[in-house]
Structures are given as structure tokens and as C-alpha cells.
């Protein structure tokens, strides 16, 4: 499965709107973050294993508008959404 990497809030919202009934897993990461580098390959593996799930990566340094919406303070942060609502974080 392809991991989506929206560059702005409009692209992010489009991903959610295109997949209203799917589970969406969002990985908020930073390129300089050691734990993010460890989790990155695992996130890719999960995206290949669970093809009905939509996987999204958001670079916290490049997408401040998305980051502020979810009040992300630490990385990595994983958020699970369905029907446009957060179900687990």
C-alpha cells in the first residue's frame, strides 16, 4: 500500500474525505528524530501488511498547519481516525 504524504492541510483533508469509512493511521514524524527513524520501516511494513488501512505520514517541520490541528508536541505520534474523527492516539 502506498503511504500518503500530504504537504498541506488541503491534501490532508482530501485523504480523509477520499477514505471516509477506512481506518486512517497518521504518523507525525521529523527527519531528525531518532525514534522516528526506528519506527519508519515498521510503518512501511504495516502499510504493506494491512492494505485496507490508509497510512499517512506528516513531517512536523513541513506541515505546521496539520500539526497544529492535532496539537502534536512529541514525535513520533500516531493517531488513528475513522469517519473524520480521532479514535485512538
User: At 64, which helix (H) or strand (E)?
Assistant: helix 64-70
Q: Residue 30 falls within a domain, yes or no?
A: yes
Q: Looking at residue 1, what is its pLDDT? A: 63
Active site annotation includes 33: yes
Reply yes or no on whether the pLDDT at 48 is more than 90.
Answer: yes
Cα gap 1→54, rounded to integer Å: 8
Cα gap 63→89, rounded to integer Å: 19
Q: How many domains are contained in the chain? A: 1
| pLDDT per residue as tens digits for the range 6-42 | 999 999 999 999 999 999 999 999 999 999 999 999 9
| pLDDT per residue as tens digits for the range 50-62 | 999 999 999 999 9
The catalytically annotated residue of 33, 39, 46, 79 is 33
Whole-number CA gyration radius for the chain: 12
pLDDT band at 2 (very low <50, low <70, confident <90, very high): confident
What CATH number does residue 34 fall under?
A: 3.40.30.10
Q: Residue 2 falls within a domain, yes or no?
A: no
Q: Residue 4 falls within a domain, yes or no?
A: no
Range of the domain at 18: 9-88
Q: Looking at residue 89, what is its pLDDT? A: 54
Helix extents (H) in 27-78 = 34-49, 64-70
- The answer for residues whose C-beta is within 8 angstroms of residue 88's C-beta and 6 or more apart is 79, 80
pTM, full prediction: 0.93
The catalytically annotated residue of 16, 24, 25, 36 is 36
Amino acid at each position: 500500500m502506498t503511504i500518503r504524504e500530504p504537504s498541506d492541510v488541503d491534501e490532508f483533508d482530501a485523504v480523509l474525505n477520499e477514505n471516509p469509512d477506512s481506518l486512517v493511521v497518521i504518523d507525525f514524524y521529523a527527519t531528525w528524530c531518532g525514534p522516528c527513524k526506528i519506527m519508519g520501516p515498521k510503518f512501511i511494513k504495516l502499510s504493506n501488511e494491512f492494505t485496507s488501512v490508509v497510512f499517512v505520514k506528516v513531517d512536523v517541520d513541513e506541515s505546521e498547519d496539520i500539526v497544529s490541528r492535532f496539537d502534536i508536541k512529541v514525535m513520533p505520534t500516531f493517531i488513528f481516525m475513522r469517519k473524520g474523527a480521532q479514535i485512538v492516539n
